[in-house]
Amino acid sequence: MGKQTERELFHRHPDNPILSVKDWPYNANSVFNSAAVEVEGNILLLVRVEDFRGISHFTAARSRDGVTKWDIDPEPTLRPDPANHPEELWGIEDPRVTRLEELQKWVIAYTAYSKAGPLVSLATTKDFSTFERLGPVMPPEDKDAAIFPKLFGDRWAMLHRPVARSPSLPANIWLSFSHDLIHWGNHQEIVCAREGSWWDANKIGLSAPPLETSEGWLILYHGVRTTPSGSIYRLGVVLLDIDDPTRVIRRTDEWIFGPKATYEREGDVDDVVFPCGWVMRCDTINMYYGAADSCIALATARLDKIVSFILTCPNHSSSDWWKS
Ligand code: BMA
């Protein structure tokens, strides 16, 4: 591969795509954008499955090595429930799962596709078989949300991406706090989309949930570049202060991963890499990502390499330095 691909910090698994509809136990249009966690020594992916109506649900897939021999639930694990949750009328999408040791539960932040637009909903589970919905926590339009695994003082923190009604306004990443996971406040904009020809101009959003490192919270985000032939979804990283996640310490200027392989470049939506989960195994980050809204792929990177890389990135906050 050429120089540009070698520059990427993440390495694609040779078996990619590791999951697609041909592996699925029931008919579906596409499987993509899965959450990823480790449960009792297995990698568990909570996979977004789109049916032939265009409506999405979640199905759990488990594998010991996180690459092969997936044990996939024979039926949808969590379906939209529009009768009790009208905000799920057009499906549930893009789950991000965080372990909350404090509560001995997993919390799933997902997009509920309501008539008024996509919004952020939460559900909790102990076993990925039964779920308790906490309901919508952010009004539309808002998506790309994940909860931090730790309390800050006595408050939980959530990253999310509200979108203003005016299309001329950028879509930026916000941070909010809550005592009970249901009522959220102290909303603050912390990472802003850049402008002009930047790869992450006008629209960004959180990808996988925040990852705790010795240097701070590692935040993986996607930037959307609009081109005459469609949008390109690429990835960058931000480092947040470990005790005060409102403080941005570093941010990559260049994207660290973007669509290159055929399964990322061609699919239901071309040129998309969209991770909703990453799992640490030994010193390695396993990043699971939706490719071209059609299948699931895996890319790996050494955590120490990512951390040393982000520490070489510009030391600035989300101020508008890039405009000048
Ligand atoms: C985003 C989300 C993702 C999707 C991506 C590319 O807005 O809706 O679910 O993968 O667009 O289509």
Ligand 1 site: residues with CB under 6 angstroms?
33, 93-94, 233, 269, 272, 274, 290, 293
Smallest CA-to-CA distance from 265 within 27, 84, 16, 61 is with 16
Alpha-carbon torsion (52, 53, 56, 58), positive or negative: negative
Quote the ligand 1 centre to 32 CA distance (angstroms): 10
Rounded to the nearest angstrom, the distance between the alpha carbon of 267 and the centre of ligand 1 is: 12
If one counts every other C-beta atom within 10 angstroms of the C-beta of residue 302, the result is: 15
Question: Which tokens is 312 given?
Answer: 């070489």
Residue 232, pLDDT score: 98
Give the atom of ligand 1 at the shortest distance from the alpha carbon of 144: 2
Cα dihedral across residues 174, 199, 299, 74: positive or negative: positive
205: Cβ contacts below 8 Å, ≥ 6 apart: 143, 144, 161, 171, 173, 221, 222, 224
Nearest residue to 107 via CA among 81, 128, 92, 78: 128
Cβ(123)–Cβ(108) below 8 Å: yes
In CATH terms, 11-315 corresponds, of 2.70.98.40, 2.115.10.20, 1.25.40.80, 2.60.120.380, to: 2.115.10.20
Atom number, ligand 1, closest to the C-alpha of residue 293: 10
Break the chain into its structural domains and give their ranges: 11-315
Which strand (E) or helix (H) includes residue 22?
none
Atom of ligand 1 nearest to the CA of 94: 9
What pLDDT tens digit does each residue of the chain (324 aa) get? 445 545 679 999 999 999 999 999 999 999 999 999 999 999 999 999 999 999 999 999 999 999 999 999 999 999 999 999 999 999 999 999 999 999 999 999 999 999 999 999 999 999 999 999 999 999 999 999 999 999 999 999 999 999 988 888 999 999 999 999 999 999 999 999 999 999 999 999 999 999 999 999 999 999 999 999 999 999 999 999 999 999 999 999 999 999 999 999 999 999 999 999 999 999 999 999 999 999 999 999 999 999 999 999 988 654 455 554
Distance 297 CA to ligand 1 centre (A): 16
Res 315: pLDDT:
82
Q: How many angstroms from the chain centroid is the CA of residue 265?
A: 19
> 252, 10 in Cβ contact below 8 A?
no
Query: Could you tell which of 274, 276, 295 is best to mutate to test the pocket of ligand 1, judged by most ligand atoms within 8 Å of the CB?
Result: 274
Please answer whether residues 310 and 215 qualify as being in contact, where contact means their C-beta atoms are separated by less than 8 angstroms.
yes
φ, ψ for residue 190, nearest 5 deg? -120, -30
244 class by beta-carbon count within 10 Å (0-12 exposed, 13-18 middle, 19+ buried): exposed
Tell me if residue 1 falls in helix, strand or coil: coil
For residue 136, the model assigns a pLDDT of: 98
| CA 225 to centroid of ligand 1, rounded, Å | 13
152 CA to middle of ligand 1, Å? 30
